[in-house]
Amino acid sequence: MSERITIHGSCHCGDITFEAQANPSRVVICHCTDCQKMSGGPYRSIVQVKEDDFTLLSGQPKLYFKVGDSGNRRELGFCAHCGSHLYATSVVEDVPKRQRMLGIRTGLLDELAQLAPRSQVWCQSKVSWAENIAELPGVAQQS
Ligand SMILES: [Zn+2]
Ligand SMILES: [Zn+2]
């Protein structure tokens, strides 16, 4: 399964746009506490893309550096104007530029609906109610 698709992403304000080649089987949900804090949500969905397959079309991500739950330093890119989260990756001191893997936030992507997660990581901090949202009553838009 090495099927690849072109993905098209943008931040909320549209300042940052990008394209990449992605394998839809490389989509994971991350339940780590950093993803919860930084996304403001219970978990985050991510597709792993080689930096060499990533093309920034407009804008310049602002960078934020953190030490992850794994103990590794991580570089996070986000839009300085609207605050949309773009990706997380290794720092260039650990992995050379263009050889890194970018964890692209799938909510940025036109192809979001095609990118169903295949696995979950950091389940030790998963919130149990996030497992069963299909059972909640729902409406098409905010009521
Ligand atoms: Zn933006
Ligand atoms: Zn995470």
Cα(103)–Cα(64) distance, rounded to whole angstroms? 14
- Whether the per-residue pLDDT at 19 is higher than 80: the answer is yes
Between the CA of 65 and the centroid of ligand 1 the distance, in Å, is 19
Shortest CA distance to 77 belongs to which of 103, 58, 96, 41?
103
- Whether the per-residue pLDDT at 1 is higher than 60: the answer is no
pLDDT at 21: 97
pLDDT at 138: 93
Query: What is the set of domains in the chain, with CATH numbers?
Result: 5-127 (2.170.150.70)
Over the stretch 59-105, which tens digit does the pLDDT of each residue have? 999 999 999 767 889 999 999 999 999 999 999 999 999 999 999 99
Neighbours of ion ligand 2 (CB under 5 A): 30, 32, 35
pTM, two decimal places: 0.90
